Structure 1
Amino acid sequence: MTPDLGAGANDAPARSILRGCSSSPGKSYLSIGSFEPELGGNLEDVTLAYETWGEPNKAGTNAVLVTHALTGDSHAAGCPSEGYKRGGWWDAMIGPGRTLDTDRYFMVCVNVLGGCGGSTGPASEDPATGEPYGMRFPVVTIRDMVRAQKLVLEALGVERLALVIGGSIGGQQALEWAVSHPDFVERAVPVAATGALGPQGLAMSELGRRAIMADPDWQDGDYYGTGREPEEGLAIARMAGMVTYQSPEGQWERFGRRPASRPAIHPEFGGRFEVESYLQYQGRDLVGRFDANSYLYLTRAMDLYDVAAGYGRAGDAYARISAETLFVGISSDWLFYPGEVRRTAQVAQEAGADAHYREIHSDSGHDAFLKDWDELDAAIGPFVHKDDES
C-alpha cells in the first residue's frame, strides 16, 4: 500500500493568511505535582506554563494542542511586546479566520517539561536542596513531555483533542501523542519530524552540547547565581543548530559570499562574510532568552526519541494510531529529510494507520514551518479544514 501523498504545497492554492496578531490572555501556570520521568528520577513538584486562545466547547472536544520547537515556548500567538519582540512564533497561523481558527478551536500551547519558559526545568529550584537543579535534573523524554501536557489538558477540561500539531521536536511530540494516546486524539500533524532523528542530526546536536559543556563558565551546570554563564558555548551551539535549519539553496540566495553588512560582534579575522555575521547574531540572540542547561536537555530528548521504543519496531507503534495523521515534509530540509518523512508516512500507513503525506516546496530548509506561511497553510489547511462544510 502506498501513502496518499497528495499534491505538493505549491500545487494547491493557499488559503488567505490574515495578517496582524492574535490576543492572548497571557501565560498561566499549573502545578501537576510529583512526576517520575520515563528514564528514572523523580521531580517532587512540577509546574508547567501554558497559554490558551479561543474558548472550549461544553463537550471539551474542540481543543487543539500546538507543540513548540526546540527554543520556542508557550507563546505561540500574540502581538510583539517587550518580552516577545517578534510576537508569537506561530501567530500567522493562529487566530480568528486563520488556519488554526480560534473562533472554532480552543488553542493550547504548553512550554515543555525541561524548558525555560516557565515550566520546571534545570534552572528551577529543587525542593530538596533549595538550589537550582542544574545537571541533577533528570533526563526527560518526548514521552515525558506528552504525559505532562496531558495533565494540563485534563485540568483544562479537555476530553479529546481535535488536533495536535507541531514542527521539529514539536512534530515528534505530535506523533507521540497519536501513538501514546490513540483514544484522545482525532487528528495529528507532525511537521518536519519522523519517528527517530537520523545520525547527521544526532551529530549536530552533540556538537552543540559539547560547545556548551566545554565553556569554562558552564561550571558543570552549576552556573546559576555565580555571575558567569556559558554564553559563548550556548551561542556556538545555536550557530551550529542554525546551519541545520537552513538549506544550501536558501543560503546562496540569502547570503551568497557577500561581505558582512552588520557591525562585528567578535574580533575580525581576515574579514567577515554575511552568513558568519548572521550566525553570530543568532547566537547572541539566543543567549539573551534561553537557558544553556535546558538546551542540553531538550536536544537530548530530541535525540533519544524513538517511536519504536517499547513496541519492538516502528510499525507496531504506528499500528496503535487511530487519529488521521498528516506527515508534512519540507523539500529542502536536511535535518529531517523529506524522503524520511515520506517513508514514515508509508510505514504508518502500511501498519494500518490513516496516514497521509504532503510536502512544502521551499528553499528555507527546516525553518520553513516557521516562516513560509502561505506554503505551510497550503500543506496543512485542507487537512485541518476538510470537515468545515459538514
Structure 2
Amino acid sequence: MIENSYYSQEVHGPYELHDIGNLELEEGGTIRGCKLAVATFGSLNAAKDNAILIPTWYSGTSKIMEQVYIGKGRALDPDKYFIIAINQIGSGLSTSPHNTPAPGGMGNFPRVRIGDDVRAQHKLVTETFGLDSLALVVGGSMGAQQTYEWAVRYPDMVKRAAPIAGTAKNTVHDFLFTETLVDAITADPGFAGGFYKSSEDVREGLLRHAKMWAVMGWSTEFFQQQRYKALGFSSLDDFIINFMNAYFAVMDPNDLLCMAWKWQRGDVSRHTGGDLRAALGRIRALTFVMPMSSDMFFPVADCQAEWRLIPNAEFRPIETIDGHLALFGADPNALAQIDRHLTELLAREA
C-alpha cells in the first residue's frame, strides 16, 4: 500500500466510497471490504426509473465523465436523470492495488474481470439505491465492455445500452496491443515485481506506456493533420511530453495493470460457453452501438460485426479523426454526435 496524491478528492472529487463487503472474484480470489468510489448527479425520482449508470474506462475516473459528458441541457442532464458514475476496481479511487493494505495489495492484488466489476456495481445500485431498473447504461472503451456485460448479465434490468468505442468480446489484436502496454511497465527494473516504493520508481516504464498510447490512442489522420496544434501544443514533442506523459506519469503502475488484465479478457460469451451470438442475443435493452470511426483499438468493423448479433440495436458510428481518444472530449463535433444519439436513445420507449 502506497500513497499517491493523484487519486484524491482534490483531483477527482467529489465522490463517495461505498463498502460493499467482500467480493469473491471469478478467478478465485477475494477482495475483502471492497470499496467503490461513486459520484452521483441529479436526483432519483419517485418511480426510480430515471437512473443512468456510467462505468469508467482505463485510466479514467468519474471526474472526466462529469467534465465531458454530464451537464444541464446535455443528453446526460442531471435535471432529468439520476446519474451514477462508478469507478471501476483498479481505477485508483475504488479498491485498487495501490490502496489495498498488505499482504493483498500491490503485486499481490488478485485478478479482476469485467464481470466482477459489474456484479459489484449491481450490488451497489440495488442495495444502496434500491434500483431494479436502469434507464441507460453508457460507457466508453472499458466502460463499453462493462455496458455490454450489464446488458447480457442483467437483461431485464437494463432498459437502454450505449457502448461507445468498445466491444463485447475483445479481439486478439487488441489483446496483443494491450500486452505491449503491460510489458512497457513491467520491463522497467523499478517495477520490482509490483512492489515498488513509489510510482516514480517506474517512471521510464510509465513514459514508454504513454508513448505507446500516443501511437494507438489517436489516429494516423490526427498526426498527419497535426491536430495536436489545434489542442494547444506547439509540436509533436510538446504534445507527447506535456499531454501524454503528463497524463500517465502520475498514475499507479499496478492499478493500470489491474485494469489492463481485465480489458484484455473482456468477453460476454463467457456466459454462453464461448457463443457470442447467444450471449448478445440475451440483450433486451434498446442498444445504440457507437464506435469511433478512426479507432485503432476497437475498429468500426469489429463493433459492426457485434451489432449485427444484438436484437433491437442500431449502429451509430461517430465520425472523428481523434481515434479512440476522441472519448477525452477534444473533438466538439464527436461530442455533439454522441449527445445527439444519446438524446434520441433516451427518448425511445423501452
Fold similarity call, TM over 0.5 = yes
1: distance between equivalents of 2:68 and 2:265? 31
2: distance between equivalents of 1:231 and 1:25? 25
Cα distance per residue 1:52-97 (max 9 Å; x no partner): 000011232211001221111122xxxxxxxxxxxx4453431222
Q: Percent identity?
A: 30
Question: Cα offset for 1:46?
Answer: 0.8
- Residues 1:292 and 2:253 are matched in the alignment: yes
Cα distance per residue 1:245-301 (max 9 Å; x no partner): 2111121112699xxx76xxxxxxxxxxx3344223334323454211011110111
Task: Show the 5 A alignment for 1:225-236.
Answer: 229-236=201-208
Task: Show the 5 A alignment for 1:37-56.
Answer: 37-56=25-44
Matched residue, 1:178: 151
Flag structure 1 segments of 5+ consecutive residues without an equivalent: 1-23, 76-87, 263-273
- Residues 1:99 and 2:75 are matched in the alignment: yes
Cα distance per residue 1:164-223 (max 9 Å; x no partner): 001111111111100001111100000111122223322221111111111111111011
Q: Which amino acid aligns with 2:246?
A: D
Cα distance per residue 1:83-126 (max 9 Å; x no partner): xxxxx445343122211111111000111112202x11111233
Flag structure 2 segments of 5+ consecutive residues without an equivalent: 1-11
Among 87, 93, 105, the alignment partner of 1:133 is 105
Q: Which amino acid aligns with 1:378?
A: R
Matched residue, 1:123: 98
Distance of aligned partners of 1:227 and 1:66 in 2 relative to their CA distance in 1, 3 Å threshold:
closer
2:225 aligned counterpart, secondary structure: helix
**Does 277-286 or 140-149 show the bigger shift?**
277-286
Higher relative CO (Cα under 8 Å, sequence separation at least 6) belongs to 1
Among 314, 319, 343, the alignment partner of 1:361 is 319
Matched residue, 1:113: 89
1: distance between equivalents of 2:38 and 2:199? 29
Matched residue, 2:243: 282
2: distance between equivalents of 1:332 and 1:116? 29
Question: Cα offset for 1:43?
Answer: 1.5
2:152 aligned counterpart, secondary structure: helix
More helix by share: 2
- Residues 1:316 and 2:291 are matched in the alignment: no
The alignment of Structure 1 onto Structure 2 pairs a total of residues equal to 331
Task: Show the 5 A alignment for 1:7-22.
Answer: none
2: distance between equivalents of 1:177 and 1:125? 26
Matched residue, 2:122: 150
Task: Show the 5 A alignment for 1:331-370.
Answer: 331-348=293-310, 353-370=311-328
Question: Cα offset for 1:229?
Answer: 2.5
Among 263, 276, 296, the alignment partner of 1:302 is 263
2:223 aligned counterpart, secondary structure: helix
2: distance between equivalents of 1:293 and 1:356? 37
Decide whether the 8 Å contact of 1:255 with 1:275 is kept in 2. Answer: no
2: distance between equivalents of 1:55 and 1:374? 25
1: distance between equivalents of 2:144 and 2:296? 15
2: distance between equivalents of 1:328 and 1:105? 21
TM-score, length basis structure 1: 0.79
